[in-house]
Structure 1
């Protein structure tokens, strides 16, 4: 009898456990670039530390073919959520893709303007006649660079802009074939690790650039708000972990992403850069929230410079409803 009772209790426990597992909402998140990049550390920490699970989510990461592909797949419903930059909806919504930002990973801009110390550059005005690397001509690093140039009365015709990808930016800057770059903190760290002294300036000091963003379709927001809320909460907790203790976050991250296991010092430096340069909250802009004024200013620049064909209502580009 005793064994029967114990067996019944054990079976009930297993059933409850299985029920809890099946109750977790399955979510596909699409990265615009390889998911082992340090820029995506908040997502890896959220998964590795159980934040998604605690919010009732069973998250699968997949990698898309760049930002435009991610936006398309999310709009079509092939992924519940995806990654971009705060300005991604400005670019793609004008093309009929009904996606919007649901969380912004920091109050500062992701893109950094950096240059070799020996290039004779002290700021944006000195870029005239210089060679500058960007990821591609369809990428935010390029669009942000145009904004920087415009802030000092320059255009793309006044400089030599080269779209050479992340590896090309790093290698050509090390070789001295690029004077400057518009990119992310880890590219700068890689160049400096090779012994090249760099100077830098956050792009958002002269142009209203934005941080990474989590994007979702209007349909997912309407039909699965609890999924979006849980995902946003988990990733923002990952951001807070990095901001609170970059060293501890780096130690945890290299355990979760073994590609970086032999570069703890470098990862800690990158985490610290994100914590200091990108993640801080903006004025009247709590962590995760979008600024209507910033989005409006970026969209106006993109329209005026022919980067997008037409403006769309600003309130269709983002929502702050998932930011607590």
Structure 2
């Protein structure tokens, strides 16, 4: 499944898969005043990237907002949107690009808040590489996990920015072996996540540079990790969803303001985080994540209609959508806090 692998690539290799229980006195569940819990799908592995949600539970942000929230990590063999389709999840953490693909397959999912305003995927090259811009990819061997997910979408966007196609570069599908491929000189560069893979390269003693999508000439053409819900859920539980989004943004802000405390809080959810090396890695990932989460005005959660419009056009032109999608149908800023 394409979607299964896309977010999975972000996850740290240092944490083990575990399931959060549904009991009210155990991690992952926040009791509010009334109503059924909002179940939030956070993909496959408890991970520091989800610290804002762990923080929102543990600091009582959901409870004070009057909403019950249950955090759920998917099973390893589960489709990213499977539980949402089945009504077992109310909100899912997924790429905006993945949501657009799901809409093209007739899942009426709507982006209600943008988690990463800057696309987190980039081409990672050795620090001394002569690759400096997307145009330099012509004739180069580029490794990416496969023809799916955000690493692949990011590669296509970089090539388009340079006026190139996949045929102009030597694209090699390497699975999730970016470090081995780059260190072993099997590729000239690899597609990876700025706030995870680049950090891991640095920690392993192989510093890399990130060739990112340009913000110039109209801005980026892809929407990264966001929060999505089905239209029927928004219609039935709009007030609860607004409370959830507001409290989640408080969790994001608190995490960015207090990264060390956020790591400590996350120990309750992430196995092995007491280990010093893993703890340092988690803190480095959080610090690398901060610039991705804020827009140019320093805001959290905001939705950019222009980027959505560019993405809908780009993904359709690249054959990544089963049918053409009107971008404005795929997001709704009405669930964000009013300024």
The answer to whether the superposition gives a TM-score over 0.5 is: yes
Question: CA-to-partner distance for each residue in 1:240-294, whole Å, 9 max, x for gaps?
Answer: 1232233443343345424333222222221111112x012246x9421211111
Contact 1:35 1:63 in 2 (8 A): no
Tell whether 2:93 aligns with 1:83: yes
Shift of 1:171: 3.2
Cα distance in structure 2, aligned partners of 1:151 and 1:309? 23
Deviation at 1:297, TM superposition (A): 0.5
CA contact (8 A) 1:57 1:230 kept: no
CA change 1:21–1:119 in 2 (3 A) is: closer
Q: Find the aligned partners of 2:289 and 2:32 in 1 and give their Cα distance.
A: 34
Residue of structure 1 in register with 2:166 after alignment: 156
Q: How does 1:111-130 map to 2 (within 5 A)?
A: 111-130=121-140
| 131-140 or 265-274: bigger deviation | 131-140
Matches within 5 A, 1:1-324: 23=34, 25-36=36-47, 38-55=48-65, 56-63=67-74, 69-166=79-176, 168-184=177-193, 185-205=195-215, 207-254=220-267, 256-262=269-275, 263-276=278-291, 278-282=292-296, 286-324=299-337
**Counterparts of 1:135 and 1:315 in 2: how far apart (Å)?**
30
Give the alignment's TM-score, normalised by structure 1. Answer: 0.83
Report the CA distance shift for 1:222/1:234 in structure 2 as closer, same or farther (over 3 A).
same
**CA–CA distance in structure 1, aligned partners of residues 150 and 329 of structure 2:** 20
Q: Which has the higher helix share?
A: 1
**What is the deviation of 1:301?**
0.9
- The alpha-carbon distance between structure 1 residues 321 and 21, as it changes in their structure 2 partners (threshold 3 A), is closer
The CA RMSD over aligned residues, in Å, is 2.5
SS in 2 for 1:132: strand
Please report how far the alpha carbon of residue 193 of structure 1 lies from its aligned counterpart in structure 2 after TM superposition.
1.1
8 A Cα contact 2:316 2:324, kept in partner: yes
Query: Cα deviation per residue 1:206-265 (whole Å; 9 max; x = unaligned)?
Result: 642323111100111111113322322222122212322334433433454243332222
Separation in structure 2 between the aligned mates of residue 323 and residue 216 of structure 1, nearest angstrom: 13
Give me the whole-angstrom Cα distance separating, in 2, the residues matched to 1:252 and 1:174. 34
SS of the equivalent of 1:97 reads coil
> Which segment drifts farther, 304-313 or 216-225?
304-313
SS at 1:297 equivalent: helix
Q: Partners of 1:189 and 1:242 in 2: how far apart?
A: 19
Contact preservation (8 Å) 1:132, 1:180: yes
8 Å Cα contact 1:81-1:215 kept in structure 2: yes
Aligned residues: 300
Structure 2 CA distance for aligned equivalents of residues 159 and 205 of structure 1? 23
